[in-house]
Amino acid sequence: EIMEISVPPQTGFDIMHIIFLFTAEKHSLYYIYTALSKPVNQPGIYQFTAMGLLDDRQIDYYNSDGQRKIPKQQWMKEKMQEDYWEKGTQSRKSKEQWFNVNVDILMKRMRHNETDVHVLQWRHGCEIQKQGSEVKFSKGIDEYSYDGENFLSFDDKESQWVAPVDAAVPTKKKWDNVPILNQYTKGYLEKECVDWLNKFRDYGDEELRKGSPPEVHVFAKRSTKDKSKLKLTCLATGFYPKDVMLTIRKYRTPLPEDEIESSGVRPNQNETFQLRKSVVIKEDEKAEYDCFVFHKTLKGPIIITWGRQMLVIHPHIDLNKKIVNRKSNLKVSSIKHPLIHHIITLCHSKLVMA
């Protein structure tokens, strides 16, 4: 056989990670804002967009053309009253104006011309960990980026802003000199955000608990750099929630991560995720390699072994044809993710980045 699916005895490493995935739930609520310095006149790309993400699923959306905050999940539409959407719309219109002003300020500070398109982003929100009935605040994030590079972030523990680049120092100093801003930001991340997260999860409990198990595919092809070697690849796709365990093993022992090439977890268009990992080996190596995948929707791990008669795919063959429905929907963005959102509504008119 080219490959076989088996369930061999688990190592302590595997059991430890499986227990963690079963017992520790992670939940998150993030808001992401993206503003362009000018329109780009491309379909589906707006000068300003904002969205809410609960456990990596979009729950609301706003753009500069429609100028309305709208629900993206049926349970949000049913549970949240009309005044929630009205107030949300006004808040996002206010933020849109704030971003328009501050993109211009940063362009001038960076001495950037108006010919190119520049991007200001903001991401803020919180994460919690849940074990049984116990819920613990895990972390809060409030960060900005400019043209895809980290620009400014809030240190929740120290209650101060961190400027990784010189151009952000004036903003850090200005905002740190407004104690109420930092107090509000810390309070929002640790309390208000967590309250909203728990409320949304209660409202969407049935829908959010619907998980999607991964489909797992393994294949091998000759290394483009060294024809005497093979590149083994394992792809897990179509899973939700986002947390997944995928490792390539040799004789049932996980290979060190620094020997493995990983795509990182990436989104599919249908609100599921995918992860691909690869390793380069000698073609004549007799070792048994397998791909070990575990996800909370599974009763046990999926283990696929590359057999002795290993399938070798020529580089010109399209590996993605059989899984095109999953893979071709991958969202690709030139803008780095995290970054950017939330600037205290109460201070919007006064606190600019200048």
Could you tell me the residue ranges of all domains in the chain?
3-21+211-327, 24-208+335-347
Per-residue pLDDT reduced to its tens digit, 210-231 = 889 999 999 998 888 888 889 9
Residue 317 confidence (pLDDT): 36
- Residue found by looking up tokens 């691909």 in the block: 276
At 167, list the tokens: 């151009």
Q: Let me know if domain 24-208+335-347 sits in CATH 3.50.50.60.
A: no
The pLDDT-based confidence of 15 (bands split at 50, 70, 90) is: low
Q: How many CB atoms lie within 10 A of CB 221?
A: 18
Per-residue pLDDT reduced to its tens digit, 161-197 = 999 999 999 999 999 999 999 999 999 999 999 999 9
If you classify domain 3-21+211-327 with CATH, what class do you get? Answer: mainly beta
CA distance 13 to 10: 8
Across the chain, which distance is largest between two alpha carbons, in Å?
69
- Please say if the pLDDT value at position 105 is more than 90: yes
Same fold, 3-21+211-327 and 24-208+335-347: no
The pLDDT-based confidence of 207 (bands split at 50, 70, 90) is: confident
State the distance between the two ends of the chain, measured CA to CA, in whole angstroms. 66
CA distance 34 to 149: 13
Q: Give per-residue burial for 274-297: e unless 16+ CB within 10 Å, then b.
A: bbbbbbebeeeeeeebbbbbbbbe
Q: For the residues 116-145, what does the mean pLDDT come to?
A: 93
Looking at per-residue pLDDT, the higher value among 344 and 66 belongs to 66
